[in-house]
Every structure is written in structure tokens, then in C-alpha cells.
Structure 1
């Protein structure tokens, strides 16, 4: 999963956000140079069937299939000269909306944005689990109910760790209404500061993206009380999806299918060869994780393998998280089945 962090935007505000970000798109996107596996920076549409296609990159392991598809030539084999660019969260949404980015990775945090009008759909899956809730080592807090009346650190109010924590707490019977919650959330822009706050006692728990909670657990500084990838309620569900631009789906369906075929090959490679994939990611600096052993462990935990009859599983998981987000007040719809059908779109590969 990419660390894609966005806030829930309501009403006409999303239109203003889209227009504003689009206007400054050239300032917020940085190209990392040619990223074709062969390093051919002069590739043309006559060389590649679909020409040069940009993909947003991130330092998280969630987006590893994009890097692996590039490095192992899966994109090239599908007629794509892939180029990775740096883009912030809002620019990714605008890129999907306009068709600049045909595909990006993301999680259920995108659902509210789609409900508000971002023209994108879930077109594939990536993996399961990458968010954990940590408490100080030896803490008496062991369960969701133990967090009642406590303070929880998050990267941002409305971000994915925040949503995941609320879903877990809500299922345990705690009140997660934004205006009358049984817990208090404190945002930290820097995850290191969030861990420091945990150790200092400023917060009672920290909801975070991997790898930081796993690293701290290995150091013996924290206990993990919630793992999105192993918790019985969430473990079997994809949390990180592939989002496709509706413009590309409609106007260039063959291109969309080619992209997804390349990414599925990359997912299967990661599943079959986690250590080799981890070495590629670390050596090429595609991730902030440089510890190959840790990256290998996380690759195994996340289960990247393409499933048999995966379309049905993806559709089911989109429905699951749509229901969960509605339950904690992050979606306005009264018909979650209709919304889930809007969010998910099957692509003929």
C-alpha cells in the first residue's frame, strides 16, 4: 500500500480542491527520470504500443509491484514505457480524475473521495494488511475496549490509520462518533515524533503504517495490539487496492488491461520470490526500508499473490469496507451496495 493520506472532503469543497491542485499539477509532480527497465529515455510511441505512462511512486512497500513491474520488464513486455513520478496525495486523485495517472495504489481511504466525485474506480488488488496499533511495551492496554478514554496518535485526522482504528474500536462497541468519541486522537506529521510521544506517555497508543511499528516491536519498545493483516475481523480482506482512472477505463480499455496484467505478474513475483523482490526494492531505493530481512518478512505477511477468482474477492472486500466506513460515519450514502458497485469496476484482462 502507498502511504496515501487524504482528508474527507465534503460538498463543493472537493471540486475546489480538484481545480486548485490541477492548476498547480506541474509544480507538485516531479519526474524521477526514465524508469523503463532498459533505461531508454528516448522511447517513443513507435517503440512502445502505449507510449510513456506515468505512475505515482512512494517510499512504502505497498507500491512495490509498480517498481517490480518496471525492473523486471513486465511493463515493457506489455508495450508500456513506465515512468515513475513523485506526487502528493491530492495530486494523485487529480491525476486519476483527469487521466494523467491511469493507475495508482491506494486503500479504503479513497472511498469517500469517490463518493464525493473523484472519477476513479477500484480495478484490482494489491495485498492485505499494513497498519498496526502499538502501545508501550508492557502496557496494560491489550484490547480495543481498553482504549476507552485513552489518547491515540495518528498521522492525520481522517487518514487511513485513523479510519482503521475507528473501525476496530467501533466493532468492539466503542463510540467513534467524531463529535463524541470514546477516544481522543492526536495527529503527528512525523511518525518518529508519534513514537516518542508514546514512550513519553503523551499518548496511550499509536496507529501507524508499517514498517515503523514492526521495527519498534522488534526492538522491544512496543507491543502490537492491532494488526490489520492478522486481526480476525480484517485479515482475509484486501486493504490496499489498485485504483484506475475512469477516463482511461472508458477511452483506453486495452491500455488499462495491459497495466493490470503487468502489475499482476509483479504481485506473483513478490509472492514467489519475496527475498529477491526485497533486494530489488532496497538496492534500487524504491522504499524507505533498506533492511532486506524486514522487507522480506513484510512481503510474506502482506500476501501479494493473485488469487483465483480474485474479481469476486475484490468486489466483496470493497463492499465490506464500504459498510465499515458507513458504520463509523465516513460515508454519507444510505445505500452502501449501490456505492460499492460504483467504486468497483471489473476489467477484462
Structure 2
């Protein structure tokens, strides 16, 4: 593995921003220097893969990794603490609406979110959720935003007709068991595990239900000022990440092992492989652009964006098409298939029997693992 990498630990508050600014000054001298932000999540496998497999170097980039705290992630990108990342579309749309200068440039993977109801309940459709209690891993988290979108699209006011209750991600199934909630919003692989255990039924599944099944959950993001100054480097970084996403889809077990052995996140190889196996890394440019439009429209309907927001204008402002970054290029792109780097259906079934939703594995795009 390529170990020659720089990891800048971003601190909270002023120290965080000052530290990133000092790194910014040192990186600003060359157009090929790019700082890539990350939190330490399973779904960030393409970032780690692009470093370890040399995809950034293939694009002529000199990359430094900037490890940031989740709660400061958006602000650090906006203030120039790092230049490029990939992250949740829904997580950034409200800040972009409010003036955050960042751009989406390509889709990394499709969605992994679900709204699920207790098998003991009579809830069988979204409309049955009106007036119910829904458990979420946090207000403002991706599962919460997805549930709001689904409710709003079905004529339910999430702020007035739902009681929201917050539980640790691994305890959502327990909340269902104890009758503390009627339904939950969660992320993979927790959602699949609870279905297999017979605790819940799916009410809305981002991976299977239209119009969400083809929607990109995570996309490449570039700081707007960096993009304006360095369009070629921005395009090169985007290509490296999209190629890495394709590599992860082809070699999920190898990508999971690479992420753990490189100490990019706190997990075991088996746990990380199990989590990655529930995501579809099918990179797309047009798919990401469509996802931005759909998410913005439904977030507005759900009251999560301003009633006066021009959805089409917001989507156009939020997305940048870059030279050499296209679906045609992606379709022609070939990546290696590593021996033993894939995941078999039988292996996944065995893991369902082993893992408990309360285990402290990395929860994909849900929340970072807390040691």
C-alpha cells in the first residue's frame, strides 16, 4: 500500500480552521496540489482507494488527506480547509441554498437509506405514518432527511404530523422491540439486518423504490473558490474518485480490507466488507445531477428548504460539469478485478447471522464510528 500520505488532523473551532488555513498556504503554490477531506466512514472507500491505488498520482496530483470532525465538515470545506471530498447530497443542499460555495461534480454511490415500520404494527404505507412516532439516529442526519422527503412527497407535514425520537443508530431496533417508536429511519446495513431478523418491514427503501432507486446518495464536492482557480485539478481529482468508485464496486472486499489496513477508519475487515457490500458504487455524472434536482425538490416540499427557493436554479448552482468528466468517459473506463476481492452472497448471509445492529461497526453514511 502507498503509505506516503499526509494526514492533517483538523481541530474544532478556530484551531480547526487555522490549522486548515496553514495547510492551505503551503498547498497553494502548485496547481497540482489538492487537499482531500474525509471523516472516516465506510462509504469513503473511494477516497482511500484513490490514494492507495495511485489514482490521484495517475492524474498528476499531489494529494494530502485532511481528517475532519463530522460536525465541522461543511464549514471546513466552505472556508478552504480542504479542497475536494465526496459526501452526502442531502447533507449539503441546505447550506448551498444558504450560500455555501461548493459544487457537486459527479456521483459516487447510490442510496442506502430506509424508512421501516414495526412488524407488530399495522403500518404498511407511508400514508400510515401520519401521527406516528419515528425513531432516527439524529435530527439532520441523512435518514432523518430521507424520511422527511418521503413524508412530504406523500402529503404529510413532518414538522407537525410526526413525533421524532432520537436513539443511537445501533439501538433503533431495540426501540422498535420495546414499542418506543412505531417506525424508524436508518441506513444500511442496519436496515437489512432488522428485516432479516423479522423486526421490521420496509415502508420506503432508497435502494429499491422509485423515484429513489437510481438516486445518488454521495457525490464528489469541490470548494467553489478552488474550482474557479484550479479547474484542471478539480477535474483530475473528480476523475480519480470516480475511477476509485468503479474499483470499489468491482472489488468491495479488497476495498474494505484496504480501508481498514490503512487505518482510515475504526472497523474490522469483516465488518467493513459487510457494510460496503450494501452499497452500489456505480459512478455517474448525469445521475448525480439528477439526484441533486430530485433531492432539492423533495426537501422543499418537506419544508427543509425555503418556500421561495427556485429548485432548478439551486440545482444548477450546486452542480459543475468539468472537462474530461463525463458518462461517456466512465463507460469506457476499465478497472482491474482483484483475485479474492469480491463478496459472495453466501458470505453475506453468514455475516447476517454474526452481526448485531448494536455492534459499533462503521455505519456507512449514517454516522462516523465513535471510539
- Normalising by structure 1, we get a TM-score of 0.77
The C-alpha deviation readout for 1:240-273, integer Å capped at 9, x for no partner, is 2121100110111122112111101101111222
- Distance in 1, matches of 2:183 and 2:28, equals 51
Is the 1:143–1:225 contact (alpha carbons within 8 Å) kept by the matching residues of 2? Answer: yes
Is the 1:229–1:301 contact (alpha carbons within 8 Å) kept by the matching residues of 2? Answer: no
1:336 to 311, 320, 342: 311
Partner of 1:101: 82
Distance 1:229 1:199, change over 3 A: same
Query: Displacement, 1:225?
Result: 2.9
Query: In the comparison of the two structures, how many residue pairs are matched?
Result: 306
2:14 to 2, 17, 23: 23
CA RMSD of aligned residues (A): 2.9
Is the 2:45–2:259 contact (alpha carbons within 8 Å) kept by the matching residues of 1? Answer: yes
Distance 1:196 1:288, change over 3 A: farther
1:75 is aligned to 2:59? no
Is the 1:62–1:126 contact (alpha carbons within 8 Å) kept by the matching residues of 2? Answer: no
- Distance in 2, matches of 1:241 and 1:156, equals 22
The C-alpha deviation readout for 1:135-176, integer Å capped at 9, x for no partner, is 334543222122222100112223321121011122223233
- Distance in 1, matches of 2:118 and 2:19, equals 37
1:126 is aligned to 2:100? no
1:235 to 213, 216, 224: 213
Unaligned runs of 5+ in 2: 1-11, 21-26, 325-371
- Distance in 2, matches of 1:262 and 1:112, equals 27
Is the 1:123–1:244 contact (alpha carbons within 8 Å) kept by the matching residues of 2? Answer: yes
Partner of 2:323: 348
Is the 1:138–1:223 contact (alpha carbons within 8 Å) kept by the matching residues of 2? Answer: no
Partner of 2:361: none
Is the 2:36–2:63 contact (alpha carbons within 8 Å) kept by the matching residues of 1? Answer: yes
- Distance in 2, matches of 1:231 and 1:28, equals 43
2:45 to 58, 61, 64: 64
Superposed, 1:97-176 pairs within 5 Å as: 97-104=78-85, 105-176=87-158
Partner of 1:89: 70
Distance 1:283 1:218, change over 3 A: farther
- Distance in 2, matches of 1:187 and 1:50, equals 43
- Distance in 2, matches of 1:26 and 1:322, equals 29
- Normalising by structure 2, we get a TM-score of 0.73
1:256 is aligned to 2:234? yes
- Distance in 1, matches of 2:202 and 2:42, equals 20
- Distance in 2, matches of 1:138 and 1:80, equals 54
Distance 1:219 1:278, change over 3 A: farther
Secondary structure of the residue that 1:239 maps to in structure 2? strand
| Greater Cα offset, 240-249 or 133-142 | 133-142
